[in-house]
Structure formats: C-alpha cells, structure tokens
Chain A
Amino acid sequence: GESVGLHLPTLSVQEGDNSIINCAYSNSASDYFIWYKQESGKGPQFIIDIRSNMDKRQGQRVTVLLNKTVKHLSLQIAATQPGDSAVYFCAENIIQAGTALIFGKGTTLSVSS
C-alpha cells in the first residue's frame, strides 16, 4: 500500500501569498523525498528533492522541510503566482530497495489573482 500521502487534497491562495503544501510519510527507510508539479494535461515535473539526513533545502522560490520525528514533509512556495497553479505530489525514493519512486495522491494548488 501507499506510504506517502498528503494532508489536504486542495489548497487555494491569493497571488503573492506564501503556500505550504504538506505530506506525511510512514517509511523510515526512505533515502530521499521529492516534490513534483503537474500542470493540467501534462506529465509531472521535478521541483526539488531532499536527502533524508537533511531537514531543509531551498531552491528558487521553494523550500522543502523534512521533520523525521513526525514523518512530515512540506513544500513552501514563496510569493505564489498564477503559474504555480497545479497538482503537487510528494514522492519517496528507497535506494536500496531498487524499486521506483512511490508517489502520494497530490494536492491541487489554486492561485487566484
């Protein structure tokens, strides 16, 4: 069964606000956690990843936080823009298992002007 999931299926924000998308996981053996963005009618696109021995990683306008104590992952998007409207998936990678990424169900982010 799935070991990665998201707290809320939808999130609506105003343009310019900061967005926080959450994800809970259950497998402590995961080596990496990854965020993907999927725009309507397209394939998902990699945003950022974080190794399991880190607690924070920053990219361009995005920050991923990892709390291993409570098995929680979040994606923060600064100054959200209409182009950020998409479905966001978290995923986990267990390198030793030799399997594919395990994706969660996704959160739909809607940004209004």
Chain B
Amino acid sequence: DGGITQSPKYLFRKEGQNVTLSCEQNLNHDAMYWYRQDPGQGLRLIYYSQIVNDFQKGDIAEGYSVSREKKESFPLTVTSAQKNPTAFYLCASSIPQGNEQFFGPGTRLTVL
C-alpha cells in the first residue's frame, strides 16, 4: 500500500520539552510539507521541502525545525520556543509543485 504515515496519532508533552513528529511516505514524492491546523482554522504552512537536503520556511516556522535527510522522511520538531504548540499537525507529500498533495492522518499534539 502506498501512502503517507504520521505517528503517533495523539501526543502529550509537558511544557518546555521538545517533541519530534514523524512523517514517512512511500509514494516516491520529492516534495513534502508540514501544516498546522487549529480548531476552526485552515491549514498554515510550517515548512516544506522540494527535494532531499533542502527545505524552506513557511508562514509560521518560528519555534519549529525540520530535516530532510531521506526522500521518504520529513520529521518536524516542535521546540520549547513555540509559544502555543497545542494543535493538529498534518504532513503531506506531492510531486514538485503538484496540485494534489497527499496528506497523512495527522498528529494531535497537546502540551500540558
């Protein structure tokens, strides 16, 4: 089965701790994305990567970091510098500049 996976589905962390969200795809897509979604809101772009070993900041990159060491993987670290990290995080992949992004099931992060 080809697809994009995120783990875990639910994540709880204490305030001040860094946490890394996993995103893996086996669709052979070059481009990968991270979005944040708050209740009743749209998708806000955190980071994106068009190719391995390269990534760009999105609209709300502050307090987040990413790496793209492998084509299949694009982990997101939510650092303690992120002031309001509790949210639903969505990862997606696509062909470069593609209209159709394939989304994972999301990770709901709650910071206590």
Chain A interfacial positions (CB closer than 8 Å to B): 2, 9, 32, 34, 41-46, 49, 89, 93, 95, 98-101, 103-106
Contact call B99/A34, Cβ cutoff below 8 A: yes
Give the contact stretch, choosing among B11-19, B62-70, B71-79, B102-110. Answer: B102-110
Given contacts A89-B42, A100-B58, A106-B42, contact A49 B100 (CB under 8 A): yes
Contact call B106/A100, Cβ cutoff below 8 A: no
Give the interface SS of chain A, mostly helix, strand, loop or mixed. loop
Given contacts A98-B50, A100-B33, contact A42 B42 (CB under 8 A): no
Contact call B105/A100, Cβ cutoff below 8 A: no
- Of the listed residues A44, A49, A100, A103, the one surrounded by the most CB atoms of chain B closer than 10 A to its CB is A100
Give the residue of A9, A42, A93 whose beta carbon is less than 8 angstroms from that of B105: A42
List of A residues within 8 angstroms of B92 by Cβ: 43
Give the residue of A49, A105, A106 whose beta carbon is less than 8 angstroms from that of B99: A49
Interface size for B (C-beta < 8 A) is 23
In whole angstroms, how far apart are the Cα atoms of A42 and B102 in the complex?
Answer: 12
Tell me the smallest distance from the CB of B56 to a CB of chain A, in Å.
8
Tell me the smallest distance from the CB of A6 to a CB of chain B, in Å.
9
A interface footprint on B9-45 (CB within 8 Å = 1, 0 otherwise):
0000000000000000000000101010000111101
List of B residues within 8 angstroms of A99 by Cβ: 48, 56
Contact call A89/B43, Cβ cutoff below 8 A: yes
- Of the listed residues B42, B45, B50, B92, the one surrounded by the most CB atoms of chain A closer than 10 A to its CB is B42
B97 CB–A CB distance under 8 Å: yes
In whole angstroms, how far apart are the Cα atoms of A9 and B41 in the complex?
Answer: 10
List of A residues within 8 angstroms of B50 by Cβ: 98
In whole angstroms, how far apart are the Cα atoms of A41 and B40 in the complex?
Answer: 12
**Pairs across A and B, CB under 8 Å, 7 listed:** A34-B100, A45-B103, A49-B99, A89-B43, A95-B97, A99-B56, A100-B58
Tell me the smallest distance from the CB of B110 to a CB of chain A, in Å.
14
In whole angstroms, how far apart are the Cα atoms of A103 and B102 in the complex?
Answer: 14
Q: With CB as the reference atom, state the residue of chain A lying closest to B99.
A: A49
Contact call A105/B106, Cβ cutoff below 8 A: no
Q: With CB as the reference atom, state the residue of chain A lying closest to B92.
A: A43
